[in-house]
Chains A and B, each alone.
Chain A
Amino acid sequence: MSSVASSAMKSPQRISGWLFLLPAGIPFAAFVVWPLVHGVALSFFDVQLRGTEFIGWENYRRLLDDETFWSAVKNTCKFVLLVVPIVWGLSLGISALVYPMGRFARAFFRFAFYVPVVAGGVCLAMVWMWIFNGQYGLLNYLTGELLGVEADWLGRTDTALPSLAAVVVTWSLGQPIIIFLAALGGIPPELHEAARIDGAGAIRRFWHVTLPLLRPASLFVLVTQTIGVFQVFVVILLLTVNGGPANATRTVVYGMYETAFTPMYDFDYAAAQGSLLLVALGTIAVVQFRLLGRQTTMD
């Protein structure tokens, strides 16, 4: 009796489920899934005007010997290793500091740190272009006045990448701070009270009570930030000359753009770079979930 009723209820759902998916499904299949599949497929072909020829792993073999590509890989890793931990630490610290200050302060700092996210990379890159200018830029004026140091920050191979990483940090804090503030709000105050009664100081309470409870939020921040930083592009295109000086700031996504859309138009070779990026990001996301997700899967 009940199985008849439930199957009668389910059979319209079986069809209508797919009907509801249809409006999203068509553009999803055509413009999201298919390009991903096609992108990987392209990397195994030689795309020419006269036709397309299957060449197997040839593009990947070429990548192995491509020094420009490997310096781009190295730079991308440097960006991730610089930006992600700093963004995580700063946003966590700022949230922990701001959270107890009350509703108004929380709203104010959430707003202040999210406004650059809203402004977007291009607007901000334009301003940073001016700020970094050697003759009339704000940065050299400030570092000169305050620290007595002036430099061609974007023109030196040792400072160019860290400078761009710092710029990326300034506009990446908004989302993690919102997440950490919300997660801090979800921690029951009794836990802190209990730890306080047990004699734990502020630092130990943060370390042993707050931090473990922020694990899911931290995981989310680390994964999304890693994916975001892997795609660093606008700052390279607008603030450097072709990923210079001497390829010191070239990233994988920038290299891909250059390979495909500047007069090289080497689509299949760029597709091979993109496919490697895809594999790398997929692996990193899975590893991060495994490493940090172990203790969060229970809830």
Chain B
Amino acid sequence: MTAHSSPRAATASRWFRPGRMLAWVLLVVSATAAILPLYWMATGSLKRQSDAMKTPPEWFPQEPTLANYKKLFGGEEGQAWSGRRPALRWLVNSLLVASTIAISAVLTSALAGYALGKLRFRGRALVFWLVVATMMLPRQVSLIPLYLLVVKFDWMDSYPGMIAPYLCFPFGIFLVRQFMMQLPDELLAAARIDGAGPWRVFWHIVLPMSRPALGAVAIFSFMGAWNEYLWQLIVTNRPEMYTLPVGVSKLVSTLTAFDLGLAMAGATVAFVPMLAVFVLFQRYFVQGVSVGALKG
């Protein structure tokens, strides 16, 4: 009994050292700064304007109301979006754009990752180098040429214009390639001796084993597309074509007064679907983030 209590006392005293205390303060402050804005957003969306502007602030909404959501989805007389329910349209746009991009990213990354990870052909190293280089470079640099391209194709305010630049996902190719490289070559060689061509090896052996990597690609491309802002801001002018982030940001800039509740309701609607995806597929997020770092 006493033999157990003495190391426990030692650890207890360690908790109260100044260094430890400082570390704990930092941990709690950073976690609060990370989470509190989201709490403030969700609860703010349930407040009336007068309650939202109270000082001291209402930490918990005293009289929660869904009025902001009704306004967001139902429209209001005299507003630019009245009667057309654009928030619902923004949600549909976001879902459509993000899922198309995610499906395309998974397909193209699976095929290209297999070629770069498991097939031998001339030019492979060069292609892989190009993929890594473009993965590191900022997308913003290609913004202007992409815009000119979209104007030329007459793709402004259209789904092709919103989707096309993201059909291929260089990080996804990298991730799948790193994953597939680790699969044992013996397995593939055995199948090849049995007469299976590269396609059958890919379809029957490599693809089923690569599910974790493909899950990570699906999620990262979906999240990237869901939260993409600058590009969608540039290619959409008509409110019906906005995605959620663009539409939500315009809620503020087009109104003269800052309608806090409405803005927070919009932000919440943009956040909740992505949160659901994150909670359901958290495992893949962790895998995907670490693959790039530890195997690169």
Contacts and interface: CB of A to CB of B under 8 A. Distances in A.
Nearest to B166: A31
Contact of A282 (B137, B165, B258): B137
A257 B40 CA distance: 30
Contacts of A15: 121
Contacts of B127: 21
A220 B296 contact: yes
B294 interface: yes
Interface residues of A, number: 99
B169 to A, nearest CB: 8
B13 to A, nearest CB: 13
Majority secondary structure of chain B interface residues (helix, strand, loop or mixed): helix
A183 B114 CA distance: 26
Contact of B167 (A12, A27, A36, A217): A27
A35 B290 contact: no
Given A13-B198, A130-B44, A113 B34 contact: yes
Interface in A161-210: 166, 169-171, 173-175, 178-179, 182-183, 186, 203
Nearest to B228: A120
B136 A114 contact: no
A112 B146 CA distance: 36
B145 A220 contact: no
B285 interface: yes
Contact of B142 (A21, A36, A129): A36
A248 interface: no
Given A20-B198, A109-B31, A115 B289 contact: no
Given A28-B170, A115-B35, A16 B197 contact: yes
Contact of A27 (B142, B168, B292): B168
A171 B34 contact: yes
Given A123-B270, A130-B260, A277 B198 contact: no
Contacts of B104: 27
Interface in B254-290: 258, 260, 263-264, 266-268, 270-271, 274-275, 277-278, 282, 285-286, 289-290
A174 B40 CA distance: 19
A238 B30 contact: no
Interface in B114-143: 114-116, 119-124, 127, 130-131, 134, 136-143
3 closest pairs, A vs B, by CB? A17-B121, A120-B227, A35-B142
7 contacts: A23-B108, A32-B165, A34-B145, A127-B264, A130-B40, A136-B53, A281-B138
